[in-house]
A and B are shown apart, each in its own frame.
Chain A
Amino acid sequence: DPHLTFMRETLGIMQHHDAITGTEKEKVALDYAKRMSVAFRACGATTRNVLNQLSVQSKDNVKDKTAKYVFDFKTCALLNITSCPVSEENERFALTLYNPLAHTVSEYIRIPVPGVSYNIIDNKGVTLESQAVPIPQPVIDIKHRNSTAKYELVFLATNIPPLGYRTYYVEKLEGTEANKKINPLPKAT
């Protein structure tokens, strides 16, 4: 509760007309942004606990309720500048998508990655079609964007249940496996 209450109080501050319209001094705007990022981090602990419990309960007749595996479930706040340490630095990672809407959705997902050859499987072990697209140079050139990602890995996540989640396993391919994947087509400038 203390984490969620911190987010509640932060959003209480964000009701101020300055926070909504941007009529505050720049330093105040940066303070609003800092408070929001601290609140999201605080709630990250909550979502991690919940998702770890859910992933345990999803196994049938589990005796001990403690999660056998505890996963990070990290959020990447810099996806808006196409940067995410987890997907850039690890050759294997899982991506969990939580659908906040009350109806099933499908969504094209873009993951910042350093290479072009990856394999993506869903929770049933089905390999998904994916495509690597180069990150535009003006995005790569953004100063202070400390990212090794050169591509975005695109795939279509389908049938994510209402107020539910689906997880995908992403693995970088090496050697002959890698060559089978289509590199981004040559660019027509």
Chain B
Amino acid sequence: SSVTVIGNSHIKLGFDTNGFLSEVKADGLTRLVSQEFLFYEGAVGNNAEFLNRSSGAYIFRPNENKIHFSTDQVEIEVYKGDLVQEVHQKFNDWISQVVRIYNKDSFAEFEWLVGPIPIEDGIGKEVITRFNSDIESNGIFHTDSNGREMIERKLNHRDTWSVKINEEVAGNYYPITTKIDLEDETARLAILTDRAQGGSSLKDGSLELMVHRRLLKDDAFGVGEALNETEFGEGLIARGKHHLFFGKSTDREGVSLKGIERLVQLEKLLPTWKFFSNMEDYTAEEWQ
């Protein structure tokens, strides 16, 4: 069939003929869920006054909200085995990802690799991963507070004052420490992060998280240099994971998706410590 499917009895992901994630089947629901990498152009201001600040270490400010797709065609390789099924995606020369589902898990793992971010064009770039779905979230989403309570967020709105949003994108970004989610009366989509990231939901059913940035102008808040990290003379490469949960939004028999999310969040953020010991001199029997 034209759709490549990986998964298990709990969750299945379908990838379209262009190599993009296109649908998720879980918890008895099948919904359109896509994922893509994009990047904002970083704003370059003269830093003379607040309204003309550059995007930098202290500030996220896209240049006139200009956003670019990383590609329209993803090369994929699919590996299926008894323990794990994986889709290796290559978006371009500096963005790739592995989407995997372990055979006992009820969520999907997205291991992204971004960098070195090219700057030959003299433009700073702020890379996001964006999940789109047909969930009618009405501008409402939730972001966590240091891995604990979820705070309700509403697009272009603040609870405690009548806000005037000058920056449609940056004005709706919030700090995500571990989780961002949205739902409607039938379905729920949650993304767990493995580190603090900026994130938002700029349109219904859509969640975006900023995974890497490379900027060329200092934002004049004190550090005195642009956020342009390099290693061995090349732009920094960032690697990390997101975990996608999808399912019914109503609590089922008390075992709600949120409970599983909390447990997985703990086990992903505090995984086992790994210690390796050379055993060349011991057979398995001696070791035992």
Contacts and interface: CB of A to CB of B under 8 A. Distances in A.
Interface of A: 21-26, 29, 47, 51, 69, 71-76, 79-81, 84, 86-87, 90-101, 105-109, 119, 121, 123, 125, 129-131, 133-134, 136-139, 142-144, 154-157, 160, 169, 171, 182, 184-185, 187-189
A72 B83 CA distance: 29
Contact of A169 (B86, B225, B267, B287): B287
Contacts, number: 164
Contacts of A26: 225, 228-230
Contacts of B78: 187-188
Interface of B: 4, 57-58, 75-84, 86, 88, 90, 96, 98, 102, 104-105, 113, 221-225, 227-232, 234, 237, 239, 266-267, 270-280, 282, 284, 287-288
B79 A90 contact: no
Contacts of B58: 23
B276 A138 contact: no
B276 A86 contact: yes
B275 A51 contact: yes
A108 B8 CA distance: 15
DSSP class of A's interface residues: helix, strand, loop or mixed?
A: mixed
Contact of B83 (A80, A129, A136): A129
B266 A97 contact: no
By CB atoms of chain A within 10 A, which of B4, B57, B80, B278 has the most?
B278
A188 B76 CA distance: 8
Contacts of A143: 232, 234
